[in-house]
Amino acid sequence: MGHSQLEKQKTHDRIVEIASRRLREKGLEGVGVADLMKEAGLTVGGFYKHFASRDEMVAEAMQLAFGSWEAKVRSEGRAPAEIPMAEYSATYLSEGHCEDVSGGCPFAALTADLARSSEKCRSLATEQLKTNLGNMRSRMNAADEAQARRKAIIATSLMTGAVGLARISDDPKLSEEILEAVRSFVVDLAAK
């Protein structure tokens, strides 16, 4: 790759990274091309050197968001599915995760937006959801695969919803109560 192509790729990656964070923070419709490019230190006209459309950029940004936690875990030499439920739930259902909307789980930040998003985004979200459920399934003590999958769906849904509800509340004690209740429930669910 030539120098100018390398620079173009670095710029493209920077735009996608910024978009990934801002979309989780402000919603899929809450980020305009002009604001995004301004934050990246670029002109609006430069956007179309990198993307055919806003939808294409959103899809790339969401793909990055979906894979960011797994990439971080793998960079530490760990497999996502091997993280025990107590550790996983303590991290996911934490005050830190609730406060880090732009760097946190895209499902907790954007469930309703993703349901109304483009076919490409919904397809990416569906594939990531399948991956997440597979990882969660591996944390479940269960009599058979069907029971493990059912428990994984329940735990994933509870955890995602709990983070969303904790973020909604303007009462810190209620937020922590929600997180703690779901943390202890999913750990018990996984162990039974």
pLDDT in tens, 121-136: 999 999 999 999 999 9
Query: What is the rounded distance in angstroms from the CA atom of residue 119 to the CA atom of residue 139?
Result: 30
CATH architecture of 3-191: Orthogonal Bundle (1.10)
- Residue type, position 84, single letter: P
The mean pLDDT value of the chain amounts to 95
| Cα 4 to Cα 160: distance, rounded to the nearest angstrom | 42
Q: Please give the pLDDT value at position 177.
A: 98
Whether residue 2 has pLDDT greater than 70 = no
Residue 5 has pLDDT above 90, yes or no: no
- Of residues 31, 36, 34, 2, the one with CA closest to residue 110: 31
Instruction: Quote the pLDDT of residue 3.
Output: 62
Convert the pLDDT of each residue in 65-116 to its tens digit: 999 999 999 999 999 989 999 999 999 999 999 999 999 999 999 999 999 9
